[in-house]
Chains A and B, each alone.
Chain A
């Protein structure tokens, strides 16, 4: 089942996702500046809104350099993998009734599959650069994303149990009475942390850790190839935020305002949280990160799933 206006949905969602992801660097820099008592970028256009445009022009004008020691084909493919997997994931997000690219009956699993393929862009970028810092970043990225993916999937299963479907539209419809953030609060927190790790945002940005690894896996990238990694990160934040909105915050549901507006408000709130977290938290050590994932998060996700399963079973009798 697809939407009544397939092409309008495809272009609308693509356009909206790219515009939001394009505007986010400016929003992030301004908000962080506010937090740190500075001005941030305020020169290009009113309040500096056009800063991203200026950055994009700069990136296009830069030399797109492939290091002679790099594995050329893999080096070029790696940033594209990131963009393709993230943009494909947007296909299953219902922004409003009828505004969805493909209403897959395995939507949640499709999202998990695409996010697990996204690891390749980090791994391949780091390996093909033939640079020790890039390789270290790629190793951290692979280990981190693999570990956090495990309980990311488990933390969603509670909502899937409650809704009785992998279909994101049905999951949203099941939240008419009560948003899943209430009965699945543990799942919500676990998914939030896993989402931070998947997008490699600040408490979990060890793969790029500027102060120790220069820029980690994309240290050798320049020009628009670096631009793809850069935009890909913000697209990832947008994607995780809209998934959080859909799974836990009731998607498009809400009184008075039109559904799309509710979806955008909730997604923006989630994005704002991601950005403010960057101003608030330091970066942990890598072994602390792995220990947190396997020793705390995974058992919690399993307990949450078990408890939810027991509750659903008890309810159905």
Chain B
């Protein structure tokens, strides 16, 4: 019996929760689970609250086994997981802000998403934010944001520097909190699916897939095979577009604009092909619970093939350009080093984890359809710097091109959408998708009327943002944009 199934067996199993098991556990099992996270015998996959319960999702990296443990807390207090496992801290602070649940024994109780500006803000959230001190001779502080110099999302960074070297970075996020989960409460599946696709614009497909899979799991249905393959096609196009954007933007932040110009062209080609194939450049609202909104047209297929051909012709020369430009490598090699221990501890997904040795990709480790039938490899490196994260993206572009080819060649015929059955009583589902940035997790509970009772969306950035604070230490302030871009965490996905 595995450790996770023992945790589940130690509690009261919730029947209508699919596909992973969920159990309501006592304080002792909850504590054991937190201890297992702290000892790195399991990976923290999610931690969220509702009115009278805290939920903890755990992942076994090796086997891909997932379990959800719930702690009933009618008094709105639960034992802190963050006290034993720091990656849970910000999640617990957000639970306090959004659901009023108090993590007892947590070492950090500062408000997080609540800036004291909501109608129902906690009074203490309005006080000036208590940034952690850094003391030493000649240290100075540099406040940056929330409005940044570039065309990017808002967030505040508080640097403490000694000369040019960053001694400490502390992030302050929450500026783009839109209350998405709150809006989903009591909303229809259709409306909630649209909201899920608007959590993080660059990962709209990944979110829509994770949400649709959670809804389908709750209702106990499967989308038709053709729909699953078309979802994967969209997901790979999204990955390609984002990776091209990122590779160029990272080089641009090292003042190498030539790469940015060329990858920008490739990105635009992918978006235009997506527009022809799925009637939207970002493929927003293309994935719906029950299948996909529209089938792939013959012209769409032609456009995607042409784009893949064009990318295959152009991209190798760009890889060579990156690899042969010493002045560029001088900036990326060694900058923003993320220690593999931290990537493992935080369960960092995507290129951040894989650049620092964490060998996890939901497409392979959790092998959801159609990836269980597709051939691809997951690149991994151990050098953990900006250069490593660029190379992971380069290798993933190559894999995604192959995946697009395979999907187009083997796309099954048949229906692209099923009618969803009415919910037979309350039911719950867990859905996952590997976005370009990492694994997106969606958990939802449907009421007997088919409306959402509670939905939680966990962006991969929750476990990546804190690592940026560690990776920037010892780098010069001027390298922050470069390091930050190589992480490219989501603000909107994190702030919700």
User: Is this pair of chains taken from one and the same complex?
Assistant: no
